[in-house]
């Protein structure tokens, strides 16, 4: 249970939001959408490992 | 490994809620990821906290000759917990139908898990009626 993961996700979110805002203001809406999508994928990749850890822990503790 | 207790989990949960609200203002897609991460981490901590207790109960169960039944019970508890966590995450993201699907799968798996027990009961009942 480390707070580092949450802080990382928040950081990615803020960075992506700023990038999307700048791209939106400069009239590149499609690129802003792609940046948002990329941020979401990066965050989900961070999450996948932790979700796998949770499933492994549950299967170890409860003897699946 | 850090010490897991109610104070640290509570503080962690509040920080996660603050972070999720903060991100929601900027980017509404990513705050879901923050919520899922918080839920997964806290659930992992809970399961890790539970493991010494389960080990102790396991040793008690081995002395009472119901170890196989107890392992079945433990497996059922694990399935329930897993489906509950996943269903709650789905419900939190506003997808009630997916959550219901996950919980239904969990219930069916529990029923399938119970079949050997039912068979055992039926066999004992049959033997009793045979004898009498």
Asked if B27 lies within 8 A of A6 by C-beta distance, the reply is no
**pTM, 2 dp:** 0.84
Q: Which of B4, B26, B74 sits opposite A14 (nearest CB)?
A: B26
Q: State the best of A2, A5, A10, A55 to mutate against chain B, taking most chain B CBs within 10 Å.
A: A10
B92: tokens are 């939190």
DSSP states along chain B: -PPP-HHHHHHHHHHHHHHHHHHHHH-TTHHHHHHHHHHHHHHHHHHHHHHHHHHHHHHHHHHTT-HHHHHHHHHHHHHHHHHHHHHHHHHHTT-HHHHHHHHHHHHHHHHHHHHHHHHHHHHHHHHHHHH-
The answer to whether B82 contacts chain A (CB < 8 Å) is yes
Determine the distance in angstroms separating the CA of B129 from the nearest CA of chain A, rounded to an integer.
35
CA neighbours closer than 13 Å in the CB half-sphere of residue B41: 23
| pLDDT band at residue B2 under the 50/70/90 scheme | low
Q: What is the tens place of the pLDDT at every residue in A20-29?
A: 999 999 988 8
Pick the residue from chain A with its C-alpha nearest to B54: A61
Q: What is the tens place of the pLDDT at every residue in B70-126?
A: 888 889 999 999 999 999 999 998 899 999 999 999 999 999 998 988 898 899 898
Pick the residue from chain A with its C-alpha nearest to B15: A3
Domain segments of chain A as ranges? 3-58
**How far are the Cα atoms of B17, B23, B56, B76 from residue A63, in angstroms, in the given order?**
32, 38, 14, 10
Q: Enter the ipTM.
A: 0.83
Determine the distance in angstroms separating the CA of B80 from the nearest CA of chain A, rounded to an integer.
11
Q: What is the tens place of the pLDDT at every residue in A2-46?
A: 889 999 999 999 999 999 999 999 988 899 999 999 999 999 999
Supply the pLDDT for residue B70: 84
The answer to whether B59 contacts chain A (CB < 8 Å) is no
């Amino acid at each position: 249970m480390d707070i580092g993961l949450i802080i990382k996700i928040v950081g990615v979110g803020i960075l992506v939001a700023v990038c999307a805002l700048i791209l939106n203001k400069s009239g590149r809406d499609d690129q802003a959408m792609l940046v948002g999508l990329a941020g979401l994928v990066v965050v989900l990749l961070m999450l996948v490992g932790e979700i796998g850890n949770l499933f492994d822990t549950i299967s170890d503790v409860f003897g699946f | 490994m850090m010490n897991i207790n109610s104070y640290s989990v509570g503080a962690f949960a509040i920080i996660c809620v603050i972070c999720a609200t903060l991100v929601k203002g900027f980017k509404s897609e990513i705050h879901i990821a923050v919520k899922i991460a918080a839920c997964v981490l806290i659930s992992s901590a809970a399961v890790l906290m539970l493991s010494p207790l389960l080990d102790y109960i396991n040793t008690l169960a081995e002395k009472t000759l119901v170890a196989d039944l107890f392992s079945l019970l433990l497996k059922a508890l694990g399935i329930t917990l897993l489906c509950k966590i996943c269903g709650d995450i789905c419900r939190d993201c506003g997808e009630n139908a997916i959550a219901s699907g996950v919980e239904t799968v969990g219930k069916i798996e529990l029923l399938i898990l119970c079949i050997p027990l039912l068979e055992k009961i039926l066999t004992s009942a049959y033997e009793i009626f045979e004898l009498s």
